[in-house]
Structure 1
Amino acid sequence: MFLAMRTEVEAALTGALDHCGYPTDDLGIEEPPDDLDSVLASSVAFRLAGDAGAPPPAVADELAAEIDPDEYSYIGRVETRGPYINVWPSEQYFAETLDAAQDDQFGTLPDQETSVVVEHTSANPTGPVHVGRARNPIIGDALARVLEYAGYDVERHYYVNDAGRQIAVFTWAYEFFDEAALPEPERDSPEYEMVRYYRQANTYLEEEASEAEVEAAEDEIQSIMQGLEAGDESAYERVGEVVDTVLGGMRDTLERLPAEFDKFVKETQFMRDGSTNEIVDRLKETEYAVFDEEAWQLELPDIDKNLVFVRGDGTSLYTTRDLAHHEWKFDNFDRAVTVLGEDHELQARQLRSALEILGNDTDRLGTVHYSWVTLPEGGMSTREGTGIDLDDLLDEAISRARKEVEDRLDDRVRDDDLTEDDIDRIAEQVGIGAVRYDIVSKQPTKGITFEWERALDFEAQSAPYVQYVHARASGIIAEAHEEGAVDPASLDIAPDVTALDTAAERDLLREIARFPAVIEEAAEDLQPHVVATYTRELAEAFNGFYRECPVLDADEETRDARLALVVAARHAVGNALDAVGVQAPDSM
């Protein structure tokens, strides 16, 4: 209903401005002051004061007088405070919100008839996923979920770097070293077993090998790279064995978050099908291409650093192949969104500029940059040579969450129905949810220092704090079933909203009504953290309602209406958590 009300407010303001002879290009619609329970406000009077020759409060009064709430379904009343025009919702707004939120799909927007490919993570397949890069799959998966809630047809892609020098070194190392001479793997998982070869290669080439041995190794590494460029099937097979093995283990780790992919798109696809060579030929023909004895480069408009797209030895670079990759995206999807670390900002600018030179519409391309995740000193043990792997962080999160759950059970009589399996399930939901929520709730461009105490705080604005609201709402509904109370989700008629007349009830309804608009905003701006912020605000409103408004002990009419409100809140908080990829437990 919030979206519908906003449309009505836009129409009402436009009509008032037009009637008073003011321009209607900027309505100044924004959130109301915190101390008002209105739903929308407008600061348009600030803009018009000069033209009107009157102070902003007088302009606001003039416009408000032109708006008749009786002409609209969702506008209840309009009042001014100083230069602001504030709008309150009607009773119909609350009634339709309560009714709409009985649907367990509440918050899902209509089909946009637009396909979007979201590329995220895309870490080089050279070893386990590192904590510092954990923000990419978490943001990427949350963004894909938000876009799906907003009505887009979404595919999740992992772009696999299987053609660069690192992979050639890895392939050579896998064939060169005897496994018996390597240290034991840190985990029984393919990527941990394989990364030993890569690390050994770096040590060998940098510290142990003679000049002749290094030269021999470099010849073989270069041969692998040249073979890929030349379309040598044996080179593709050699590299593929290493890459696919490592990716298999990385996928298992990412699925723990969860972050799953519809497709793993390999760089070599665009070498094998000839599209990389085609890109090179087209770039060479542009006015921006220059050649010296080192390489072919593009002199890009408004970017100081040239883009090298072919080395002196004739091999292409990552960005060259990524240009072919992006044109493939544009051929197959309406929009393309990529999640990248802040260290790739220059590369992203170069890519966009080169795509424009090639004649592509880059308005279809969206990019989300993120900063790194770090841990406080002493926060976790590290393994020499590996830093802190994502698997370590998730294991620690589950362990700490389990202890928190057990401590809380010790503080009260243990529920006989809560088995060890239940505790394990809750610990995993809470632990991994805490990691994911703490990371996705921050603006991507801001650095994060992950702190356990904050992430797992059941009383603060954390994942457990929000998850507990879903569990509490689920518990109320379950108890209502046991007592034979009315289950509004099974009724064919709308619950009676007039019985919900306290400030706490109306505050909760206002927050529930905002959910579809929050999804729309997060999808439009590619900012899933907006949804996480909303879940905290919704949780606060529910907890205020829970403290002040007994549900099952109220009189029958009030009980039924409040139970409907609990169902609505459960759907809103559950779907909002799902939109950022955090599980919503039914019990905690």
Structure 2
Amino acid sequence: MFIAFRREVEAALEAALADLDYPTGDLGIEEPPADVPAVLASSVAFRLAGEAGAPPPQVAAEIADAIDLADADLVAEASTQGPYVNFAPSDAYFQGALEDAQAEDWGRLPDTGESVVVEHTSANPTGPVHVGRARNPILGDALARILAFAGHDVTSEYYVNDAGRQMAVFTWAYETFDESDLPEPGREKPDYDLVRYYRKGNEFLEEGDPEAVEAAEAEIAAIIEGLDEGDEETLERVETVVDTVLGGMRETLGRLPAEFDEFVKETRFLRDGSTHEVVDRLRDAEHAFKEEGAWQLDLEDWGIEQSFVFLRSDDTTLYTTRDIAHHEWKFETFDHAITVLGEDQELHANKLRAALEVLGNDTSRLEEVFYAWVNLPGGESMSTRQGTGVDMDDLLDEAVARAEDAVRSRVDDRIRDDDLTDEDVERIAEQVGIGAVRYDVVSKQPTKAITFEWEDALDFEGQSAPYVQYAHARACGILGEADGLEPALDADALAGEDERALLQAVARFPAVVEAAAAEREPHQVATYAREFVDTFNAFYRSCPVLAEDVDDDVAAARLALVEASRQTLANALGVLGIAAPESM
């Protein structure tokens, strides 16, 4: 409804400006303050005051008088308040919102016909997922979900770094050391099992006998060379390690949940020869030069002082070289490519973009979403580079344990402790605990550093997942206690201030999805959900649904509004990747 309302406003405003011989380029449409009884407002009078030679309030009145709403279905009135032109909704607007929000796919936008690949997480398969990666899979997964809900054909991709020195060291260590050489694994998971080999290997290379280290380095170099040449035997050796570790990492990421449609491996672009084809094309580029045996690109034309090395002096390729082939594959396969990256990767992204342009690629189809680091209490960074020794599994276990304590200690006004089985408590704790971590991360603007605080994340009354989840559970409780009362899709019976405010909030949901997808900002949905709960709670306090003194027709209409609210919250949480509990 909101999107259709906005289109009617745009059409009416453009027509009025054209009739008045005013330019129609910028309509100045925005959402008014909460205390203004309108759905949208226009500040266009500010822009036109100079041209009109009149103060903005006078221009606004002139425009409002020229607006013709004869063909409008959803806009009832255009009026002025100072320099603003306000647009009020019709009864059809509220009725449409109430009806549309009953659908399970409420808020989903029509198909755009555009395919989008969202690459995110892509942590190196060298051990358990670290909390330094927490923001990437949460932000990336939420963005992919929102884009899909906004009508795009989305593929979520995990780019697996299974080539290069790290994997060569890992493979050599796995084939060299015995179980007796290693400490006990931190968990009974394959990534915790194999990471012991990787750590032992690095320890040996740093502290081992020089002659033994030299021999080991020769073996490692042979693995690197075999990978770069696409040698099948070498690829299979490395694949054994990579796939085992990746299996454990996927289990951890699945708890968030961070879901992937494709796991695209670096070695794919060595196997098919595309990486070496990229090298040949780059060598012929006018920006290419060779220095100390290494082939590089001069990127000064792109404002980048640091050169781009694409072939080492030993004729082996780099991660960045293979990433060029990877991105050219993306351009061939998808209409648009989005990569979620930590803020420390901005230089790499800029160099990659420049190298792609050297090869003639249209990089307008490539986009990066950068994020700042998450900080632990006390300011310690959750950066993988700085490291804190905290694994993602530990963080999620702690979240669930704390949530279980909160659930067991909380007495709901409708659900007594003895109504909850242990199985119920465990289910709710998993939903609330994981949701708390996820919401706390995704609710912030990506470019802003955040400090993760348990007390805030698990606050049932604050700006948190439990606060939103509890409202959904409350709506489910009301619907479950209706005792045969059937919802009535009658917006005319919902004439109260809090009822209309809630209907307006419901109607906005598709537009929030649209904006969050277009601006690549999942936090917009999180903010909307939290504010929606405020509006729903105001309705809950002032508009009883099942009380004996409530007229049956009003109660039935309010019940339909509760269902519309429940569906809105369920879908808002769903696009954020957060569970919507039916009881808490």
**One-letter amino acid of the structure 1 residue matched with residue 87 of structure 2:** V
SS at 1:69's partner residue? coil
Deviations 1:51-70, CA, capped at 9 Å, x for gaps: 11111121111111111334
Give, in angstroms, the shift of residue 487 of structure 1. 3.7
1: distance between equivalents of 2:463 and 2:84? 31
Give the direction of change, closer, same or farther, for the CA distance of 1:412–1:523 in structure 2 (3 Å limit). closer
Correspondence for 1:161: 161
Q: Among residues 540, 551, 558, which one is paired with 1:562 in the alignment?
A: 558
The one-letter amino acid of 2:305's match is D
Contact 2:375–2:381, Cα closer than 8 Å, also in 1: no
Deviation at residue 410 of structure 1 after TM alignment: 9.2
> Aligned match of 1:578 in 561, 564, 574?
574
Matched, 1:551 2:536: no
Deviation at 1:413, TM superposition (A): 7.0
Query: Is 2:387 the partner of 1:424?
Result: no
Q: 2:28 touches 2:44 (CA, 8 Å); kept in 1?
A: yes
Q: Distance in 1 between matches of 2:115 and 2:412?
A: 50
How far the C-alpha of 1:409 sits from its partner, in A, is 3.8
Q: Is the 8 A contact 2:125 2:245 kept in 1?
A: yes
| Structure 1 counterpart of 2:201 | 201
Aligned to 1:523: 517
Shift of 1:145: 0.6
- How far did residue 443 of structure 1 move? 0.6
Q: Work out whether residues 162 and 268 of structure 1, in 8 Å CA contact, stay in contact via their aligned partners in 2.
A: yes
Structure 2: give runs of 5+ residues left out of the alignment.
none
Listed as ranges, the matches of 1:43-442 within 5 Å are 43-206=43-206, 208-300=207-299, 301-377=302-378, 387-409=389-411, 414=416, 416-442=418-444
Aligned equivalent of 2:21: 21
Superposed CA deviations along residues 462-521 of structure 1, whole A, max 9, x for unmatched, are 1000001110001111111xx111145xxxxxx111110111011111111010001111
Q: Could you tell me which residue of structure 2 aligns to residue 492 of structure 1?
A: none
Please give the per-residue CA displacement for 1:4-37, whole angstroms capped at 9, x wherever unaligned. 0111111111111111111111111112124313
1:411, CA displacement in angstroms? 9.1
SS in 1 for 2:404: helix
CA distance in 1, matches of 2:352, 2:325: 11
Q: Which amino acid aligns with 1:418?
A: L
Secondary structure of the corresponding residue to residue 71 of structure 1: coil
For 1:234 and 1:412, the matched residues in 2 are separated by 63
Q: Which residue is 2:446 aligned to?
A: 444
* CA–CA distance in structure 1, aligned partners of residues 191 and 415 of structure 2: 44
1:538 aligns with 2:532: yes
**Cα pair distance change 1:71/1:413, threshold 3 Å:** closer
Determine if contact 2:408/2:417 at 8 Å carries over to the other structure: no
Give, in angstroms, the shift of residue 211 of structure 1.
2.3
Residues 434-487 of structure 1: per-residue CA shift (max 9 Å, x gap) = 00011000011111111000000001111000001110001111111xx11114
One-letter identity of the residue aligned with 2:519: D
CA positional deviation for 1:170: 1.1
Per the TM alignment, residue 378 of structure 1 is displaced from its structure 2 partner at its CA by 11
- 3-state DSSP of counterpart to 1:26: coil
The 1-side partners of 2:289 and 2:143 are apart by 39
Alpha-carbon shift at residue 169 of structure 1 (Å): 1.1
Q: Which amino acid aligns with 1:317?
A: L
Match of 1:498 in 2: 492
Aligned pair count reads 577
Counterparts of 1:72 and 1:272, CA distance in 2: 60
Q: Answer yes or no: is 1:466 the counterpart of 2:468.
A: yes
Aligned mates of 1:538, 1:411 — CA distance in 2: 21
RMSD: 1.8
The residue identity in structure 2 corresponding to 1:521 is A
Q: Which amino acid aligns with 1:310?
A: L
Distance in 1 between residues matched to 2:321 and 2:183, nearest whole Å: 37
Task: Report the AA paired with residue 358 of structure 2.
Answer: I
- Would you say the 8 A contact 2:374–2:381 is kept in 1? no
For 2:415 and 2:84, locate their aligned partners in 1 and report how far apart those are by CA, in whole Å: 53
For residues 530-586 of structure 1, the C-alpha deviation after alignment (integer angstroms, 9 at most, x for no partner) is 111110111111000000000012211100110010010011010000000000000
Alpha-carbon contact 1:131-1:374 (below 8 Å) kept:
no
Q: CA deviation at 1:250?
A: 0.1
Give the whole-Å Cα distance in 1 for the aligned partners of 2:281 and 2:32.
53
**SS of residue paired to 1:305:** coil
Take 1:445 and 1:90, find their aligned partners in 2: how far apart are those partners?
39
Using the alignment, how far apart are the partners of 1:76 and 1:173 within structure 2? Answer: 73
- What is the alpha-carbon distance in structure 2 between the residues aligned to residue 359 and residue 20 of structure 1? 47
How far apart, in 2, do the equivalents of 1:511 and 1:18 lie?
Answer: 32
Q: Secondary structure at the match of 2:66?
A: coil
Q: 2-side partners of 1:547 and 1:183: how far apart?
A: 58
Distance 1:294 1:435 in 2: 48
Conserved in 2, the CA contact under 8 Å of 1:508 and 1:541? yes
Q: Give the match for residue 7 of structure 1.
A: 7
**Matched residue SS, 1:116:** strand
Write out per-residue CA displacement over residues 358-405 of structure 1, whole angstroms, 9 at most, x where no aligned residue. 122212112111111221149999xx9861111001000000000000
Instruction: Give the gaps of 5 or more residues in structure 1.
Output: 489-494
Q: Write the distance in 2 (CA, Å) between the matches of 1:412 and 1:19.
A: 59
Give, in angstroms, the shift of residue 233 of structure 1.
Answer: 1.2
- Give per-residue Cα distances to partners, 1:265-308, cap 9 Å, x unaligned: 10000011000011111111111111112411111222222111
- How many Å separate the matches in 2 of 1:294 and 1:53? 69
1:24-35 map, 5 Å: 24-35=24-35
Deviation of 1:232 after TM superposition, in Å, equals: 1.2
Cα distance in 2, alignment partners of residues 434 and 529 from structure 1:
14
Does the Cα contact within 8 Å between 1:401 and 1:428 map onto a contact in 2?
yes
SS, match of residue 538 in structure 1: helix
Partner AA of 1:363 in structure 2: S
Structure 2 residue identity aligned to 1:346: L
Query: How far apart, in 2, do the equivalents of 1:248 and 1:374 lie?
Result: 27
Distance in 2 of aligned mates of 1:124 and 1:546:
48
Distance change (3 Å), C-alpha of 1:557 and 1:281 = same
Whether the aligned pair in 2 keeps the contact of 1:37 and 1:507 (CA below 8 Å) is no
C-alpha separation in 1, matches of 2:361 and 2:61:
49
User: Partners of 2:369 and 2:317 in 1: how far apart?
Assistant: 26
Secondary structure at the residue paired with 2:86? strand
SS class of match (1:65): helix
